């Protein structure tokens, strides 16, 4: 559908008259009701297209996109062919349980995300038929004349017609932390989005002042809509865990198919009865499939999700929590992520010197009482409401949505209580009687207050004993305030403001500005009579400077240091000025070559040039959404696992493109949350690092129970292979194998999911994204452990027969029960040994993983039940063992445990620096 936005895409470079003419509207009367209705029909409602919502059905279907699940279903079909209903029900129960676990966890996460979204319908003040009216924002059309006031959310993109001290917070769109002061004059056509001071954009917030604008674009034609369109074009890649499990699933699938084909060929060649051929093939197929793996992976990821939710991170997709452990690069926004997202007073300067660190918790205001007159005048010459004054502000309060009002004025009010300055009482005692509002030409604000000596104690150092009448306060740019000042306060006296002093103040101002600090100058004067006109702003006393910045989070520096320690490269990408970006990067210890990369200089670069910058630079300033996406894409092309954090609309495309998208839950926009895999409920960068650590622990546990499950399967296969090679009967029946894989292996595997013994997971680099789950060391372990299990199990069977010969028909069930029980107990010993790769069970602590210990006891009890309870004997084809035979089972079953514990001691004694490649 054609949009007017294409005709006014360069509206910032045109005059107001030209824009109105192009849009066919009038600033005085607006559109007619009929014309507005016609345009609404033509251009559609002022809404963004809904994101692709994951329905419950979609979530359920995703649980079955797993080759292992397909293998289980194939095994169920084989059981049906054999007429074994018990096996069929058991296999299908495994499939349903696994799907249910994954479905309910992800469905709950989707519902939790939905509860974060604001449900209120935005409105807009629109002039139609020459009258102002309030309408739902989705009814706004191109050509509408709208009114803006402090606190309003901008309903569409537009060109400003009038601007009275208008400031708009565009951080959610551009990343710029400071509100943009707006004006109405045309700008050069090449002006960047973040610097178009005569335009307004959908979703941004009016911080101060008022204005009138004409709507140029609505819905998907807005800047926000273009970002939404970019999101729709981004295809989310599978996570490393999903890729590894899919690869493993396919390998096991082909292994099962090959074994089944081999058994069928051998059986037909030996003219074995077809039922026996199918039974043997099904037994081998079931032995290949680690039935407990899907459920174990789901449970361990769900457990990680619960742990992260306790630490204020909402995991929307289960695989995301493990993938965090594989992250190699974290691309993060600055405003509200690495910083508080709120201006605060960081510096102050008076004639006696500069004071730094005012915003830090350790700052002792009592030692700097000479700053009180400076802050008192700045608090009087200030429009921020006193109710925003807070002695102590929690991080959650500081991270709330942008407040109405100038952030610099709010910051001055916020810091006053630290100096025991009661702004409410000061304003009540010195009421404002006159003012000159701030404007972009004068670059200052001035106010006049009735002087009451009894209420003016904070100003006493700058007032003479004869002072009476009125107090004038002014604040603004240094040049502006110096131009109306004739003397300066030295903290002891007043002296003329000479050229040397002016140069000193300029040098100090430039030093602060170079650190990315916003600087305000403050001056005052007394008048015996109520001043008016130019008399208000002349012969002032210069008091000093106030430096303001959006400070780094206290915990961000440590979090970034921990990233470097863990082999992770943090990258800051912001829409802010390069000086501000560099200052924050230096304060946080971000390592980057040279100066920050600037967005405007990235546009024309070739892919090779851009790649070089993306791989070397760690600080990017003035970046556009397309720049962020390009950086993420380039890094992914170099096999990096990229996590992108952010809170604004401008972050959404890169959140969607990245391997792991992490949105801010408090200050984050709904668009960003929808695009993310993880939502931080406390907007704390340190939580990301905690999530990475949790992800590494979880991956270690996945490798741990994968080793456990697959070695069990290998043991079963080797046992059957050895038996067949020796001419023995089938040592394990399909249902017995299913019991081992589901119960004997399943319960301890879940216990291993709770293991927390990897305390040094952040002291080594992340695993290579292409490293297979089945590494060389793991494969070697599977082979030797499986072979030893087979030897031990068949040897245990020889106790029944007295030799390695085939058992007599009457002893076959007891022989098979012995092998079945020994193989079960061998697995339990293996689980206990796998708690740590280097420490023995006694060093880790037998009771430090109580769930695993309970699972071992419960599984042993269940195995006894299968052997000795008549009803279960019929189902599993077992017979009771004698006391001697029963006591021999744990003796044979402890061989693997003893071997693995001995290997740990040998490795530490003779190979202390060696690392097994299945260590996380």
Is the same domain home to 174 and 33? yes
H/E stretch holding 598 reads strand 597-598
Judged against a pLDDT cut of 70, whether residue 741 lies above it is answered with yes
* In contact, 535 and 376? CB cutoff 8 Å: no
Tell me the DSSP string of 341-380. Answer: SS-EEEEEEETTEEEE-TTSTT--GGGGGGGHHHHHHHHH
Q: How many helices (H) and strands (E) does the chain have?
A: 33, 24
* Cβ contact 789:719 at 8 Å: yes
Mean pLDDT on 310-315: 84
Instruction: Say whether both 390 and 489 belong to one domain.
Output: yes
Is 389 contained in some domain?
yes
Q: Which two tokens stand for residue 133?
A: 């009216």
* Cβ neighbours of 613 (radius 10 Å): 16
- pLDDT reported for residue 117: 44
User: Of the residues 683, 708, 725, which one is the last residue of a structural domain?
Assistant: 683
In CATH, what number is assigned to the domain containing residue 447?
Answer: 3.40.1110.10
Q: What is the DSSP letter of 214?
A: E
Alpha carbons 695 and 699: distance in angstroms, whole number:
6
Contact between 351 and 544 under an 8 Å Cβ cutoff? The reply is yes
Alpha-carbon distance 199 to 11, whole Å? Answer: 8
Which pLDDT belongs to residue 392?
Answer: 43
Residues 6+ apart with CB under 8 A from 244: 772, 773
Q: How confident is the model at residue 116 (pLDDT cuts 50, 70, 90)?
A: very low
Q: Would you state the structure tokens that stand for residue 189, as one six-digit string?
A: 């056509």
Identify whether 75 is part of a domain: no
Place of tokens 């014309």: 35
Residue 648 maps to a domain: yes
pLDDT digits (tens, 9 = 90+) for 823-848: 999 999 999 998 887 788 888 888 88
Residues 751-756, mean pLDDT to the nearest whole number: 79
Does 374 have pLDDT greater than 80? Answer: yes
Range of the domain at 491: 344-549
Query: Catalytic site residue 586?
Result: no
Cα→Cα distances 807→607, 613, 728, 729, Å: 71, 72, 8, 8
Measured distance CA(812)–CA(804) in Å, rounded = 13
Residues in Cβ contact with 233 at an 8 Å cutoff, skipping those fewer than 6 apart: none
Q: Which residue has the higher pLDDT, 611 or 282?
A: 611
Rounded Cα gap, residues 16 and 792, in angstroms:
89
SS (H, E, C) 35-96: HHHHHHHHHCCCCCCCCCCCCHHHHHHHCCCCHHHHHHHHHHHHHHHHCCHHHHHHHHHHHH
* pLDDT class of 402 with cuts at 50, 70, 90: very low
CATH value at residue 622: 3.40.50.1000
Kindly indicate the confidence band of residue 5, based on its pLDDT and cuts at 50, 70 and 90: low
- Which helix (H) or strand (E) is 560 found in, with range? helix 556-565
Query: Among residues 700, 757, 760, which one has the least CA distance to residue 567?
Result: 760
| Residues 652 and 704 grouped into a single domain | no
pLDDT for the residue numbered 915: 57
Which residues on adjacent β-strands are paired with residue 148?
Answer: 211
* Arithmetic mean of pLDDT, 728-742: 81
**How far, in Å, CA of 627 to CA of 651, rounded?**
10
Looking at per-residue confidence, does 50 or 248 come out higher?
Answer: 248
Q: Which long-range contacts does 362-365 make (Cβ < 8 Å, 24+ apart)?
A: 363/418, 365/418, 365/419, 365/420
* Residues 366, 296 share a domain: no
Contact by Cβ (8 Å): 510, 494: no
Distance CA 533, CA 527 (A): 13
pLDDT at residue 667 tops 60? yes
DSSP 417: G
Asked whether the predicted pLDDT for residue 1 surpasses 70, the reply is: no
Query: Closest Cα partner for 738 from 59, 87, 272?
Result: 87
pLDDT score for 320: 77
Element (H, E) at 249: helix 240-269
Q: Would you call 898 exposed, middle or buried from its count of C-beta atoms within 10 A (0-12, 13-18, 19+)? A: exposed
Residues 709 and 669 in one domain: no
CA 876 to chain centre: 49
Tell me the CA distances in angstroms from 215 to 23, 33, 128, 220, 827, one per residue in order.
Answer: 9, 15, 13, 14, 70
- pLDDT tens string 607-663: 899 999 999 999 998 887 778 889 999 999 998 999 988 776 667 777 878 889 898
* Residue 107 CB partners (closer than 8 Å, separation 6+): 56, 59
Inside any domain, residue 510: yes
Tokens of 177: 């932390």
Contact 206, 607 (CB under 8 A): no
Report the pLDDT value the prediction gives residue 610, as an integer from 0 to 100.
Answer: 92
CB atoms within 10 A of CB 510: 11
> From CA 574, how far away is CA 620, in angstroms rounded?
6
Stretch (H or E) spanning 447? strand 444-450
pLDDT at 364: 87
Query: Span 54-59, mean pLDDT?
Result: 77
Average pLDDT over residues 891-901: 93
How many whole angstroms from its chain centre is CA 654? 12
Contacts with 838 (C-beta within 8 Å, 6 or more apart), sequence order:
904, 907, 908, 919
- Which of 155, 118, 160, 120 has its CA nearest to residue 135? 155
**Predicted confidence band of residue 234 (pLDDT cuts 50, 70, 90):** low
Task: Output the pLDDT for position 101.
Answer: 64
Nearest CA-CA partner of 704 in 752, 747, 742: 752
Q: Look at residues 683, 704, 724 and tell me which one is the last residue of a structural domain.
A: 683
Give the separation between CA 167 and CA 165, rounded to whole angstroms.
7
Which of the residues 144, 333, 550, 674 is marked catalytic?
Answer: 333
β-sheet bridge partners, residue 547? 347, 519
Domains contained in the chain, number = 4
Helix (H, G, I), strand (E, B) or coil at 602: coil
Whether 582 is in a domain gets the answer yes
pLDDT at 236: 56
- Whether 386 and 322 have beta carbons less than 8 Å apart is answered as no
In this structure, the answer to whether residues 705 and 841 fall within a common structural domain is yes
Same domain, 762 and 871: yes
Note whether 14 and 147 are same-domain residues: yes
Q: What is the pLDDT of residue 795?
A: 92
- 3-state SS, 265-281, equals HHHHHCCCCHHHHHHHH
**Mean pLDDT (whole number) for 218-227:** 84
Residues 123 and 200 in one domain: yes
Residue 600 has pLDDT above 60, yes or no: yes
Is 579 part of any domain? yes
| Residue 525 · residue 486 · CB < 8 Å | no
**Sign of the CA dihedral with 830 first, then 835, 837, and 842 last:** negative
Ranked by mean pLDDT, the top range of 192-201, 312-321, 382-391, 499-508 is 499-508
pLDDT at 917 (0 to 100) = 52
Q: In the chain, pLDDT over 90 holds for what percent of residues? A: 32
239 within domain boundaries: no
Q: State the chain's mean pLDDT as an integer.
A: 82
CA distances from 225 to 147, 456, 671 (A): 22, 53, 11
Is 82 within the bounds of a domain? Answer: no
Which residue reads 């002014």 in tokens?
474
Closest to 290 in 3D by CA, of 679, 626, 786, 870: 786
If one compares 658 and 251, the residue with the highest pLDDT of the two is 658
In this prediction, residue 613 carries a pLDDT of: 92
Mark whether 626 and 705 lie in a shared domain: no
Pick the last residue of a domain from 501, 521, 549.
549
Instruction: Work out the average pLDDT over 811-834.
Output: 92
Residues 793, 839, single domain; the answer is yes
Residue with the larger pLDDT of the pair 289 and 821:
821
Q: Using only C-alpha atoms, what is the Rg of the chain?
A: 36
> Comparing 134-148, 164-178, 720-734, which segment has the lowest mean pLDDT?
164-178
- Where b means 16+ CB within 10 Å and e means fewer, 190-215 reads ebebbebbbbbbbbbbbbbbebbbbb
- C-alpha 200/C-alpha 581 separation (Å) is 24
Whether residue 715 sits in one domain with residue 642? no
């Amino acid at each position: 559908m054609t949009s007017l936005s294409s005709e006014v895409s360069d509206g910032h470079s045109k005059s107001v008259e030209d824009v109105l003419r192009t849009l066919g509207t009038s600033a005085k009367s607006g559109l007619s009701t009929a014309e507005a209705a016609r345009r609404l029909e033509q251009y559609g409602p002022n809404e963004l297209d809904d994101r692709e919502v994951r329905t419950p059905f979609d979530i359920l279907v995703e649980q079955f996109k797993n080759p292992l699940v397909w293998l289980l279903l194939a095994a169920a079909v084989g059981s049906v062919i054999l007429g074994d209903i018990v096996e069929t029900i058991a296999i299908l129960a495994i499939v349903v349980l696994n799907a249910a676990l994954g479905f309910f966890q992800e469905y709950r996460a989707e519902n939790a995300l939905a509860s974060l979204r604001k449900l209120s319908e935005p409105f807009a003040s629109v002039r139609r038929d020459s009258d102002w009216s309030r309408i739902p924002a989705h009814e706004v059309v191109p050509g509408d004349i709208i009114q803006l006031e402090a606190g309003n959310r901008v309903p569409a993109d537009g060109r400003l017609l009038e601007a009275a001290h208008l400031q708009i917070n565009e951080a959610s769109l551009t990343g710029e932390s400071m509100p943009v002061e707006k004006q109405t004059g045309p700008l050069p056509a090449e002006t960047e989005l973040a610097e178009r001071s005569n335009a307004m954009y959908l979703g941004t917030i009016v911080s101060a002042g008022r204005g009138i604008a004409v709507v140029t674009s609505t819905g998907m034609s807005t800047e926000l809509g273009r970002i939404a369109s970019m999101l729709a074009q981004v295809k989310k890649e599978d996570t490393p865990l999903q890729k590894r499990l899919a690869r493993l699933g396919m390998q096991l699938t082909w292994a099962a198919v090959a074994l089944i084909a081999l058994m069928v060929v051998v059986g037909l060649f030996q003219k074995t009865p077809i039922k026996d051929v199918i039974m043997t093939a099904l037994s081998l197929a079931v032995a290949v499939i680690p039935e407990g793996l899907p459920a174990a992976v789901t449970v361990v990821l769900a457990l990680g999700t619960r742990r992260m939710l306790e630490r204020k991170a909402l995991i929307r997709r289960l695989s995301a929590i493990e993938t965090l452990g594989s992250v190699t690069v974290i691309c993060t926004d600055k405003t509200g992520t690495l910083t508080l997202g709120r201006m605060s007073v960081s510096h102050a300067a008076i004639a006696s010197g500069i004071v730094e660190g005012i915003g830090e918790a350790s700052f002792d205001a009592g030692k700097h009482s000479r700053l009180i007159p400076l802050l008192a005048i700045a608090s009087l010459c200030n429009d921020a409401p006193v109710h925003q004054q807070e002695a102590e502000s929690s991080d959650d309060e500081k991270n709330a949505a942008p407040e109405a009002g100038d952030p610099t004025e709010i910051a001055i009010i916020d810091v006053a209580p630290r100096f025991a300055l009661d702004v409410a009482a000061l304003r009540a005692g010195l009421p404002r009687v006159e003012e000159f509002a701030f404007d972009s030409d004068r670059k200052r604000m001035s106010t006049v207050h009735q002087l009451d000596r009894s209420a003016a104690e904070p100003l006493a150092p700058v007032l003479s004993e004869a002072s009476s009448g009125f107090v004038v306060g002014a604040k603004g740019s240094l040049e502006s305030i110096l131009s109306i000042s004739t003397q300066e306060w030295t903290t002891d006296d007043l002296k003329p403001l000479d050229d040397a002093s002016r140069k000193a103040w300029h040098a100090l101002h430039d030093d602060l500005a170079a650190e990315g600090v916003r600087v305000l100058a403050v001056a005052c004067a007394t008048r015996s009579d109520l001043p008016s006109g130019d008399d208000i702003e002349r012969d002032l006393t210069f008091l000093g400077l106030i430096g303001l910045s959006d400070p780094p989070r206290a915990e961000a520096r440590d979090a970034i240091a921990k990233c470097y320690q863990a082999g992770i490269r943090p990258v800051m990408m912001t829409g802010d000025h390069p000086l501000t970006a560099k200052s924050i990067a230096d304060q946080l210890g971000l390592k980057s070559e040279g100066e920050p990369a600037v967005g405007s200089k990235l546009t024309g670069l070739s892919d090779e040039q851009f790649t070089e910058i993306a791989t070397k630079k760690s600080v990017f300033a003035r970046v556009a959404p397309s720049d962020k996406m390009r950086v993420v894409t380039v890094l992914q092309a170099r096999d990096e696992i990229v996590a992108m954090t952010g809170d604004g609309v401008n972050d959404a495309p890169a959140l969607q493109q990245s391997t792991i998208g992490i949105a801010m839950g408090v200050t984050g926009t709904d668009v960003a949350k929808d695009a993310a895999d993880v939502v931080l409920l406390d907007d704390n960068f340190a939580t990301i690092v905690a999530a990475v650590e949790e992800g590494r622990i979880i991956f270690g546990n996945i490798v741990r129970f994968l080793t456990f499950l697959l070695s069990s399967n290998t043991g079963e296969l080797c046992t059957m292979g050895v038996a067949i090679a020796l001419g023995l009967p089938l040592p394990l029946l399909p249902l017995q194998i299913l019991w081992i894989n589901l119960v004997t292996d399943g319960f301890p595997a879940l216990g291993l999911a709770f293991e927390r013994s990897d305390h040094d997971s952040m002291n080594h680099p992340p695993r290579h994204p292409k490293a297979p789950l089945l590494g060389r060391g793991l494969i070697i372990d599977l082979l030797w452990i499986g072979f030893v299990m087979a030897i031990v199990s068949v040897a245990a069977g020889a106790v029944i027969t007295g030799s390695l010969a085939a058992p007599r028909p009457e002893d076959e069930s007891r022989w098979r029960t012995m092998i079945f029980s020994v193989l079960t107990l061998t697995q339990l010993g293996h689980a206990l040994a796998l708690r740590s790769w280097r420490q023995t069970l006694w060093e880790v602590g037998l009771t430090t993983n109580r769930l695993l210990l309970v699972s071992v006891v419960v599984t042993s009890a269940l195995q006894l039940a299968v052997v000795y309870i008549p009803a279960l004997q019929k189902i599993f084809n077992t017979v009771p063992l004698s006391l001697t035979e029963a006591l021999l089972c744990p003796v044979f079953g402890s061989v693997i445990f003893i071997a693995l514990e001995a290997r740990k001691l040998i490795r530490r004694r003779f190979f202390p620096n060696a690392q097994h490649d299945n260590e996380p």
